[in-house]
Amino acid sequence: MEADKSNGQSHAPATGPLPVVRDGQIHRVSPIDGAPLPPLPVATADEVRAAVERARAAQQAWKNRSFDERVKALESAAKAMLDRRNEVMALVEREGGKLPVDALFTEALGPLDAVGGWKRVVGPAIRQSIRLSPLAFPKKRARIDLVPRGVIGIIAPWNFPVAGLYRSVLPALMTGNGVVLKPSEHTPESSAWFVTMLSEHLPEGLISVVQGGGAVGGALLDAGIDACVFTGSCATGKKVRVRCAELGIPSSVEMGGNDPAIVLADCDLDRTVAGITHWALQNAGQACGAVEIVYVDRRIADRFVRRIGDAWAKLRVGDGDFAEVEVNPLTTERQLAIVEAHVADALAKGAKLVTGGARVGKGLFYQPTILDACTDRMDVVRDETFGPVLAIVRVDGAAEAIRRTNESRYGLGASIWTRDLARAERLAERLDVGVVDVNNHAMTGAIPDLPWSGARDTGFGIANSALSLTTFCRPKSLLIDENDAPEPFWMPFDASTFELGDLLADAQLMRITRAWKLPLLLAKRAKRIKRFFS
């Protein structure tokens, strides 16, 4: 089972070298220049099971540490990561192709903020007092504890090999679990660095990494884990869901997106062009929540296309000093092949090339590409492209844009660009997606307090927020009764039992003519029960 982002599409086969697992090793090349990277050993099924067993043994003591102690350990690890951020930036650049500034902002800058955010989310949720009606439940108090499930298996993608783990590994550990991580075979070293940094501040064996491809992901599912978090393609995600159901363990599965930006006629065009450019091209568009489609009001479409086309044509990509490049290369040859296939399909079906549309340089660089006059018949509109490509669809207004968004096979996110914020809130309520931003895009992915989820082929998994914690924990209810007397509805039953229940029903309906009988009936029932059991 692969944590890829190809979404199971049957496009033209990739050419050139691919990271492959053979002879017990992962073989890779750098997306920047095609230079070979050091091979890495693949974990065997026995090694995967051993990692799960070590995590389970370490988790027994870890779960009994106080919440504050667990947070303190994670804070120490996060501070060390920030201090040594240049190490991971170099790894992410070498094997993922990320620009230094992109690696800094999206991968290296956030661990301490993430720990603080999860502390804010998990702290109030891990033990919740419940208010009970003093009439229905006299002298009783209750609470809900979140109990760690045990060992969480995480199958991660390559597009955010460090920051993508903040919203799975950190809450899993903070809630008292052990973790075994299977990174993508495309970015194994970056994710392994994250695990190593955590391990230096955690009990031995509590978290570990197992390297390999789809077979190792399958072995992890079958190694006795207690829950699974998966991010990747639709095809693989569906297999993970089925296998977890067979094993009787919970799973949280996110399987991509094809997010639109809805550009209304009254938008601030300067901010809109700048914002969509960033969210379409950050990490070369290799993000589940990237802007891939623009539904733009026809009344401003010409101006919008001209402005964004002129901007994209000036961006630097390809040959030259990598420090001066402004758009990352694609991370994998396979993903670049999908991008090329989508662009070719769109042009063959009548799309107009505004800018870009070709490989450039010696690595996996692809020009930032804008396609105008796109339609629903095109793969670039129907499927997730996961590259530096923007499909422009001209619409007659917000209603058409919302209808098209809701008809998409995906339902992760969308954004609305307008000066009318009150209208934007009303429109957001009509969008059948998991995340909506107004005059921005995909911001909630970095906010632990807000859920990151979706509908339809995106999957039903939830990342971030207290709503995600049921993947890592099971709820345990506790009720404490401070009564000395028996409950008035306990056996033995007689006519007074029925009369009491009938009176309580009337009381709920605010029929209080018989309310004076309540203390008499309660006393009668208490005396009857006490006499019966004496």
Active-site amino acid positions: 254, 288
Question: How many other β-carbons are positioned within 10 Å of the β-carbon of residue 236?
Answer: 24
* Listed residue (457, 515, 526) closest to 488, CA to CA: 526
The residue type of 74 is L
User: Three-state DSSP class for 91?
Assistant: helix
Cα separation of the two ends of the chain:
65
Which residues have a Cβ under 8 Å from the Cβ of 329 and sit 6 or more positions away?
A: 31, 32, 97, 284, 361, 363, 364, 365, 366
Which residues have a Cβ under 8 Å from the Cβ of 474 and sit 6 or more positions away?
A: 146, 147, 149
Cβ distance 154 to 229 under 8 Å? yes
Cβ distance 233 to 256 under 8 Å? yes
DSSP class per residue in 60-88: HHHTTS-HHHHHHHHHHHHHHHHHTHHHH
Which residues have a Cβ under 8 Å from the Cβ of 328 and sit 6 or more positions away?
A: 97, 98, 99, 102, 283, 284, 286
Strands 25-29 and 20-22 turn out to be antiparallel
CA atoms of 188 and 399, how far apart (whole Å): 44
8 phi-psi bin (left φ>0, alpha ψ -120 to 50, beta other) = left
